[in-house]
């Protein structure tokens, strides 16, 4: 699991509530259920409140083992096995935050050359789980896309592995739908999302791309250079800002050029901002040296709305329904000075849905913007894990899916 609860049931706990169907099924079968996972990236955080919330959701007591691994010997403590052995059928037991232990996180930054010296410890952990915890592994943490040992190593020692009910539906229904999207609205602070967009274009049916953020900046400069011109990206192309997340290195511009050339050859239309809100609130059709874009401008918002209108007219009668995938936000929307681009676009999602188009949001900031500026029923579906969805649709495989496939073989 990967979850943290809000103040009350139904608030901020969708990831916990999404597990209920699988857990209810297991309890009805009389299985003993051991739940393990994390709460964000901080190893010091505890799952004690998560345990309490899950108990409320399930309507049962959830046991809790706070200290379950001896990190010196990578040995699961005997009291864990004893607690499981003595538990009644249908019992639920939660282990404390797996990221509390270094072994869980050793693959996060590991290089291929590091693996031989890590292999014994990881194998020990997996075998300990199989000997003292369980022989059947169910992954019901759609959002848990990191290289955690409990997600990508432990399944290898299991007799059987499976996706949970909720997670299986995510991949079999919603993600498959998004693979067939004709329109993607793609934004983000980091230019590395170009990799995801490129993979989506290569493997999907995309014919229209609306882009903002650093992603669009890369494409904007690339488009200008293809036309024999230049478009200065301000601090985003200044080497003095090379250590910042918004910096766009030269290789990303070249990648964007390649995408534009190949995409246009396939008949794909790229719709990019035509004006920007700069750091001082000024609206400009240029960014320019020393400046930084923090949102798209009003003319871009109008262009995006007109583009949506064209898409609706072209696809409102499609059978099966056309699909639009929206990921990210258009600017630093948490600051009211730079929220208008995102705020203006959210109603466009409703317009598409009302016209019979399936509209998916990748989660994360996109989901937050819908909560802030719209209503849940304005779209077809909001994913609970933006990173996992981008992996599934984009350039990187989902680590736990790879691990489960290998374990199943």
CATH code for the domain in which residue 219 is found: 3.40.50.1260
Decide which of 120, 147, 163 is a domain's last residue.
Answer: 163
Question: In this structure, are strands 276-278 and 283-284 parallel, antiparallel, or unpaired?
Answer: antiparallel
Whether 151 and 192 map to the same domain: the answer is no
Whether 54 and 139 map to the same domain: the answer is yes
* pLDDT at position 143: 83
Decide which of 103, 132, 163 is a domain's last residue.
Answer: 163
Whether 159 and 181 map to the same domain: the answer is no
Inter-CA distances, 36 with 5, 12, 222, 311, 374, Å: 16, 19, 46, 44, 35
What angle in degrees, to the nearest 10, is found between the helix axes of 20-28 and 48-58? 70
* pLDDT at position 338: 93
Helix extents (H) in 266-322: 298-315
Q: What is the distance between the alpha carbons of residues 314 and 322, in angstroms, rounded to a whole number? A: 10
Whether 176 and 41 map to the same domain: the answer is no
Q: What is the distance between the alpha carbons of residues 44 and 29, in angstroms, rounded to a whole number? A: 34
Q: Is residue 405 part of a domain?
A: no
* pLDDT at position 189: 67
122 contacts 155 by C-beta, under 8 angstroms: no
* pLDDT at position 168: 93
Whether 32 and 134 map to the same domain: the answer is yes
* pLDDT at position 218: 92
Q: Is residue 400 part of a domain?
A: no
Whether 106 and 236 map to the same domain: the answer is no
* pLDDT at position 5: 74
Whether 218 and 127 map to the same domain: the answer is no
Q: What is the distance between the alpha carbons of residues 332 and 289, in angstroms, rounded to a whole number? A: 20
Whether 99 and 186 map to the same domain: the answer is no
* pLDDT at position 9: 67
Decide which of 129, 163, 197 is a domain's last residue.
Answer: 163
SS3 assignment, position 297: coil
SS3 assignment, position 110: coil
Q: Is residue 265 part of a domain?
A: yes
User: How many independent structural domains does the chain possess?
Assistant: 2
Q: What is the distance between the alpha carbons of residues 230 and 253, in angstroms, rounded to a whole number? A: 12
The alpha carbon of 205 is separated from its chain's Cα centroid by a whole number of angstroms, namely 21
The domain containing residue 281 runs over which residues?
171-392
Low-confidence ranges of the chain (pLDDT < 70): 9-12, 189, 191, 204, 395
Whether 77 and 216 map to the same domain: the answer is no
Q: Is residue 149 part of a domain?
A: yes
Report the DSSP beta bridge partners of residue 186: 211, 327
* pLDDT at position 187: 86
CA neighbor of 361 nearest in space, from 330, 389, 327: 327
Q: Is residue 407 part of a domain?
A: no
Whether 239 and 353 map to the same domain: the answer is yes
Whether 216 and 306 map to the same domain: the answer is yes
Q: Is residue 4 part of a domain?
A: no
Q: What is the distance between the alpha carbons of residues 35 and 68, in angstroms, rounded to a whole number? A: 12
Q: Is residue 109 part of a domain?
A: yes
Torsion angle, alpha carbons of 145, 146, 150, 155, to 10: 60
Whether 381 and 312 map to the same domain: the answer is yes
Q: What is the distance between the alpha carbons of residues 48 and 67, in angstroms, rounded to a whole number? A: 12
Q: Is residue 402 part of a domain?
A: no
* pLDDT at position 395: 67
* pLDDT at position 10: 64
Element at 86 (helix H, strand E): helix 78-86
SS3 assignment, position 396: coil
């Amino acid at each position: 699991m990967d979850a943290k609860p809000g103040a009350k049931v139904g608030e901020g706990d969708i990831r916990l509530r999404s597990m209920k169907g699988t857990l209810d099924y297991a309890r009805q079968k009389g299985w003993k259920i051991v739940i393990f996972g994390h709460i964000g990236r901080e190893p010091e955080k505890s799952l004690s409140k998560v345990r309490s919330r899950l108990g409320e959701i399930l309507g049962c007591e959830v046991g809790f083992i706070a200290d379950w691994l001896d990190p010196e010997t990578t040995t699961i403590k005997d009291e864990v096995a004893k607690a499981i052995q003595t538990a009644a059928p249908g019992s639920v037991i939660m282990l404390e935050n797996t990221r509390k232990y270094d072994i869980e996180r050793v693959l996060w930054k590991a290089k291929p050359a590091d693996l031989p010296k890590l292999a014994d410890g990881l194998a020990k952990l997996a075998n300990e789980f199989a000997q003292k915890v369980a022989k059947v592994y169910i992954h019901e943490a759609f959002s848990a896309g990191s290289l955690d040992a409990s997600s990508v190593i432990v399944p290898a020692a299991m007799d059987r592995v499976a996706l949970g009910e909720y997670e299986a539906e995510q991949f079999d229904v919603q993600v498959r739908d998004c693979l067939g999207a004709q329109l993607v609205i793609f934004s983000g602070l980091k230019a590395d999302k170009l990799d995801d967009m490129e993979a989506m274009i290569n493997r999907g049916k995309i014919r229209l791309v609306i882009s903002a953020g650093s992603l669009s900046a890369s494409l904007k400069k690339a488009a200008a250079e293809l036309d024999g011109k230049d478009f200065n990206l301000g601090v985003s192309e200044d080497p003095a800002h090379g250590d910042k997340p918004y910096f766009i290195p030269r290789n990303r511009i070249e990648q964007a050029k390649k995408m534009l050339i190949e995409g246009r050859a396939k008949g794909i239309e790229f719709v990019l901002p035509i004006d920007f809100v700069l750091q001082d609130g000024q609206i400009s059709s240029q960014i320019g040296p020393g400046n930084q874009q923090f949102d798209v401008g009003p003319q871009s918002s109008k262009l995006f709305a007109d583009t949506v209108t064209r898409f609706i007219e072209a696809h409102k009668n499609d059978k099966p329904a056309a699909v639009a995938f929206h990921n990210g936000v258009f600017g630093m929307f948490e600051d009211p000075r730079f929220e208008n681009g995102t705020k203006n676009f959210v109603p466009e999602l409703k317009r598409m849905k009302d016209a019979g188009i399936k509209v998916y949001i990748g989660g994360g900031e996109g989901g937050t913007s819908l909560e802030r500026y719209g209503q849940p029923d304005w779209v077809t579906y909001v994913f609970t894990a933006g990173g996992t969805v981008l992996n599934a649709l984009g350039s990187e495989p989902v680590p736990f899916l790879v691990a489960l496939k290998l374990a199943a073989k």
